[in-house]
Structure 1
Amino acid sequence: MVQPDWVRVDPEQSLFVALLPGGHRDRLPEPEPSAAERLAGALACRRLSGPVLLEGDPGYDESRRVWNALVDHRPAAVVLCETEADVVAAVAAGREAGVDVGVRCGGHSIVGHSVPDGGLMVDLRRLSRVEVDPEARTATVQGGALLGALDRATEPYGLATTTGNVSHTGIGGLALGGGMGWLARQHGLTCDNLLGCRVVTADGRVVTASAKENPDLFWALRGGGGNFGVVTELTLRLHPVPQRVLSIEVEFPAEQAHGALARWRDLSRSAPREATFLLDVFGGVALLGVVWIGDLASGRAYAEEFLRFEGEPSEQVVEELTYLELQVREDTPQGSDARRYWKAFYLDDLPDDAVAALLGQDPGFAGSIVCHGGAIEDVPADATAFSHRSAAFEYVGAVRWEDPAEDVERVRWGRRQATGLAAHASGTYVNTVGGTGSHPVRSSYSGTTLERLRRVKRDWDPENLFHLNHNIEPA
């Protein structure tokens, strides 16, 4: 091609042209469309029941606002899915445009995986229906439903299943990563109560995953997170629960709590399955507690034994709650206006030096522990993708702040605070990982489980379309 003498814009055709020697014209290649333009074109070619939000549209900023205010990502487009067909169309558009695809429900990922910067957010929150079959003791839940919706739907029948402790968490994300809650020591994790799923795959199919259909995918979905597709529906096993439960709490000044915390640890090792031990250290105090879900008379007898601590506590409280009250009591402190950093991991034991490290954390840093065991450990290690079934304790250390100017220093400070206890870590829980990269994935799964997950990923998402998660790369 003859090189042009000069280039100008043709105002009539609005494209670049070159004036060549001899008066000939030749068009230069048009510039490649941006990712946002490719995505807009891909979405425009598809019928969607729900609206598509672009930056500047009403509702756009609300849609990208998630639980951790530290996350300030701006998707190129947000599809508010109203049907499963919308999910299929959105996934196809994201794949065609070659952009990052994030899937939003409760938005509780600490690192903001559901909000793809410059990519496509598939927002499931309008898919929130919950249907209960009290005879079969099952609940069928759409992928955008929150924990509170499930609890409210099952409560009239005296039924429930293991869910988390903050009611505005999404059921889908919780179940796919594992799902710890007050019923876990009696009935297993959320993923252990998962009977089947409907899944939109990377190539646009809608498949069922259960023990009988696509069992390899079903195995991976129970602990492997959102790596394998978009779950649009879950069927969960339900269990009878009492209408009233018992909460037992005793508070000590942190500097005087070494003996009390050691006793709390020792009691937890032989606790009945109705009892879930919990611990919070913050603001210079240690709050040692038990949640009892079972016969109330037995619970009150256990409370008398539990409360026999040496020394004088600052406060102790034994109170009855409804199960629904228990499920929402942590909602306010877990609101979505704060900036957050977490450091979380499992512990196989809590030796005395770990107790000292926990109590020695800065009063502005909140350290929490909940005890595992019971039915969680009953499930064979290879039955699901969830690893660390033998872990005794789950630890989360957290720092919260509001000023964006403090971001870097607060995160550094939070990492330092958890260092002493991290020396005793035995692995991580994929739903509470506060960082990115390959290390959290390796520490969340055993070697054999991770290799099997990589093979399932290869079979169901070989191009790694669903990589905005704690990513398992295809084998």
Structure 2
Amino acid sequence: MITSTRPQQVLLEPLAVDVFATTLRGELIPPGDPSYEQHRRVWNGSIDRHPGLIARCAGIADVRSAIRFAREQGLLVAVRGGGHSFPGYSVCDGGMVIDLSLMKGIRVDPEARTARVQAGALLGELDRETQEFGLAVTTGIVTHTGVAGLTLGGGLGWLQRKHGLMIDNLLSVDVVTADGEFVTASQSRNADLFWGLRGGGGNFGIATEFEFRLHPVGPDIFAGPVFWAMEDAPEVLRFYRDWIADCPDELMTIVVQRRAPDLPVIPRDLVGRHMIAVVACHVGTVNDGERVMRPLKSFGRPLLDLCQPKPYLVHQSMFDPSYPHGWWYYVRACDVAELTNDVIDIMAEHGRRIVSPISSIGLWQMGGAVARVRDEDTAFNGRGAGFTFNINGNSYTADGFDAEREWARDYWSALAPYHSSVYVNFLMDEGKGRVREAYGPAKYDRLTTLKRRYDPDNVFRLNQNIPPAP
């Protein structure tokens, strides 16, 4: 558990702070400022940290100035894009938060089918701009997630089986390094850094702008969840395993186990009931989507079927009510090679044990375009995984949080014989060994060498940290 902490005393020379403030086009927020409480808070309500300064940067010059000041003053640096990291790495105690949330510029080139996106943009903001032209890039499943953090860790999302991960559609990244230098990384410029940024997280600098390749998507797709009672989970999962065995790349699914949420679309007699759902997103034609989904929609005894034609933007935001700011979130994650009968039995057993109305698991279908990129082409690991587990033990407040964490850990431990790798964006603060596991020994060693070149002092260590090679 990430416990609440008291503010650490930061002894800064007032004149130095004043001089630094004059260099910013954005704003500098110290403790005591009327907006300090608002800007120190992050998405995960279990994180309660008090930085010594928050530099809300309005552009690259601000970012460079903030890095120089933090290094001169010996301050721990946290970098905030969307503030959505599970372990709360986008805020720190006593140091400086370099907050990019003012940097929201998005420019779509519909003819070239590309988009340039600043690091403070959120997924929903990017989707809104690209869909105006009938285009999209893979983004995640909660619209208030930050583009930067999701991309740098790999970027799973509804389009991944058809169009690949976010990093597979990344053309270039602008980065401010630990010494304040501005560099651009792409296949043709600083290619080694570009390799590391595609999965290596924020270890090598502060990404300030991304360029993505876009694809025609929508505006209408066939998508949504189909729900069954949790007691039907073994039969549903066995059918699901067979159904997706030869499914087209246009289909992406996430299996969800949870208690039915209290939402307007859920009938009152189902709210709170233990359910298993297959949430589907078919990004081909609506007619093809209806045809592909027909066997699932007619299997067994569905309690609720919300899988239907809808705008892509509507589907992209469907999980937002389940992951709002301020709830207490804890996650354990792992990849598995296949959905064996033993894994299905574990899922059925632990799904029945869910207590909190907001705890859940998401089983992400992998494969398709994700698996067709050569593993050695990016730092991201796990392209051969069959499925990725995201086990969320959540509570509204501190009440009940310990019990939900234990449920998540027990579920994860039961799956231990089947773990293959882990998606780095789904890690909590789990130690060096788990970070190494997320990349595998060969990639991890290459990343430590890259870290030594771009951040030898490990300035950017408040992340799933890759220390510089000795």
The answer to whether the superposition gives a TM-score over 0.5 is: yes
Match of 2:425 in 1: 431
Match of 1:339 in 2: 328
2:415 to 421, 426, 438: 421
Is the aligned partner of 1:367 residue 2:356?
A: no
Check whether the contact 2:360–2:393 (CA below 8 A) recurs between aligned residues.
yes
Q: Give the superposed CA RMSD.
A: 1.6
Is the aligned partner of 1:351 residue 2:325?
A: no
2:278 to 284, 288, 292: 288
Match of 1:324 in 2: 313
Check whether the contact 2:375–2:383 (CA below 8 A) recurs between aligned residues.
yes
Structure 1, residues 38-66: CA drift from partner, whole Å, max 9, x if none?
Answer: 37565434311111111111111111111
Change over 3 Å in CA distance of 1:125–1:450 after alignment to 2:
same
Q: Secondary structure at the match of 2:464?
A: coil
User: Which amino acid in structure 1 is aligned with residue 328 of structure 2?
Assistant: R
Q: Secondary structure at the match of 2:152?
A: helix
Q: Give the Cα separation in 2 of the matches to 1:421 and 1:316.
A: 29
Compute the displacement of 1:35 (Å). 7.0
Q: Secondary structure at the match of 2:11?
A: helix
Match of 2:447 in 1: 453
Q: Give the Cα separation in 2 of the matches to 1:54 and 1:298.
A: 55
Q: Give the Cα separation in 2 of the matches to 1:99 and 1:401.
A: 33
Check whether the contact 1:343–1:396 (CA below 8 A) recurs between aligned residues.
yes
2:158 to 182, 196, 216: 182
Check whether the contact 2:105–2:117 (CA below 8 A) recurs between aligned residues.
yes
Greater strand proportion: 1
Q: Secondary structure at the match of 2:377?
A: coil
Check whether the contact 1:43–1:90 (CA below 8 A) recurs between aligned residues.
no
Match of 2:113 in 1: 137
Is the aligned partner of 1:37 residue 2:11?
A: yes
In the TM superposition, 1:53-72 aligns within 5 A as 53-72=29-48
User: Which amino acid in structure 2 is aligned with residue 301 of structure 1?
Assistant: R
Structure 1, residues 178-198: CA drift from partner, whole Å, max 9, x if none?
Answer: 001111111110011111111
In the TM superposition, 1:173-322 aligns within 5 A as 173-283=149-259, 284-309=274-299, 311-322=300-311
Check whether the contact 1:42–1:96 (CA below 8 A) recurs between aligned residues.
no
Q: Which runs of 5+ in 1 are unaligned?
A: 1-33
1:472 to 452, 466, 469: 466
TM-score between both structures, scaled by the size of structure 2: 0.91
Is the aligned partner of 1:396 residue 2:390?
A: yes
Q: Which runs of 5+ in 2 are unaligned?
A: 1-7, 260-273
Compute the displacement of 1:319 (Å). 1.2
Is the aligned partner of 1:444 residue 2:418?
A: no
Check whether the contact 1:199–1:230 (CA below 8 A) recurs between aligned residues.
yes
Check whether the contact 2:178–2:454 (CA below 8 A) recurs between aligned residues.
yes
Is the aligned partner of 1:382 residue 2:376?
A: yes
Check whether the contact 1:35–1:98 (CA below 8 A) recurs between aligned residues.
no
The alignment of Structure 1 onto Structure 2 pairs a total of residues equal to 441
Check whether the contact 2:137–2:169 (CA below 8 A) recurs between aligned residues.
yes
Q: Secondary structure at the match of 1:61?
A: helix
Change over 3 Å in CA distance of 1:40–1:155 after alignment to 2:
farther
Q: Secondary structure at the match of 2:437?
A: helix
Structure 1, residues 278-332: CA drift from partner, whole Å, max 9, x if none?
Answer: 21111221112321111111111112233342x3222333311101111111111
User: Which amino acid in structure 1 is aligned with residue 337 of structure 2?
Assistant: D
Check whether the contact 2:334–2:412 (CA below 8 A) recurs between aligned residues.
no
Structure 1, residues 335-360: CA drift from partner, whole Å, max 9, x if none?
Answer: 01211111111111111111111111
Q: Secondary structure at the match of 1:226?
A: coil
Q: Secondary structure at the match of 2:323?
A: coil
Structure 1, residues 352-372: CA drift from partner, whole Å, max 9, x if none?
Answer: 111111111112241111101
TM-score between both structures, scaled by the size of structure 1: 0.90
Match of 1:149 in 2: 125
Q: Secondary structure at the match of 1:332?
A: helix
Q: Secondary structure at the match of 1:339?
A: coil
Compute the displacement of 1:147 (Å). 0.8
Check whether the contact 1:75–1:115 (CA below 8 A) recurs between aligned residues.
yes
Identity percentage of aligned residues: 39
Structure 1, residues 404-441: CA drift from partner, whole Å, max 9, x if none?
Answer: 25444442343123322233211111111123311221
Q: Give the Cα separation in 2 of the matches to 1:134 and 1:376.
A: 24
Q: Give the Cα separation in 2 of the matches to 1:83 and 1:307.
A: 49
User: Which amino acid in structure 1 is aligned with residue 94 of structure 2?
Assistant: G
Q: Give the Cα separation in 1 of the matches to 2:280 and 2:399.
A: 38
Q: Give the Cα separation in 2 of the matches to 1:420 and 1:388.
A: 20
Structure 1, residues 4-43: CA drift from partner, whole Å, max 9, x if none?
Answer: xxxxxxxxxxxxxxxxxxxxxxxxxxxxxx9722375654
Q: Give the Cα separation in 1 of the matches to 2:432 and 2:319.
A: 31
Check whether the contact 1:248–1:303 (CA below 8 A) recurs between aligned residues.
no
Q: Secondary structure at the match of 1:259?
A: helix
Check whether the contact 1:188–1:376 (CA below 8 A) recurs between aligned residues.
yes
Q: Secondary structure at the match of 1:454?
A: helix
Compute the displacement of 1:262 (Å). 0.9
Match of 1:165 in 2: 141
Q: Secondary structure at the match of 2:185?
A: strand
Q: Secondary structure at the match of 1:87?
A: helix
Check whether the contact 1:36–1:76 (CA below 8 A) recurs between aligned residues.
yes
Q: Give the Cα separation in 1 of the matches to 2:181 and 2:222.
A: 46
User: Which amino acid in structure 2 is aligned with residue 422 of structure 1?
Assistant: A
Structure 1, residues 352-394: CA drift from partner, whole Å, max 9, x if none?
Answer: 1111111111122411111011110111111111110011111
Which moves more between the two structures, 443-452 or 220-229? Answer: 443-452
Q: Secondary structure at the match of 1:36?
A: coil
Q: Secondary structure at the match of 2:130?
A: helix
Check whether the contact 2:52–2:93 (CA below 8 A) recurs between aligned residues.
yes
Change over 3 Å in CA distance of 1:402–1:303 after alignment to 2:
closer
Change over 3 Å in CA distance of 1:405–1:288 after alignment to 2:
closer
Compute the displacement of 1:167 (Å). 0.8
Structure 1, residues 188-222: CA drift from partner, whole Å, max 9, x if none?
Answer: 10011111111000011011111111111111000
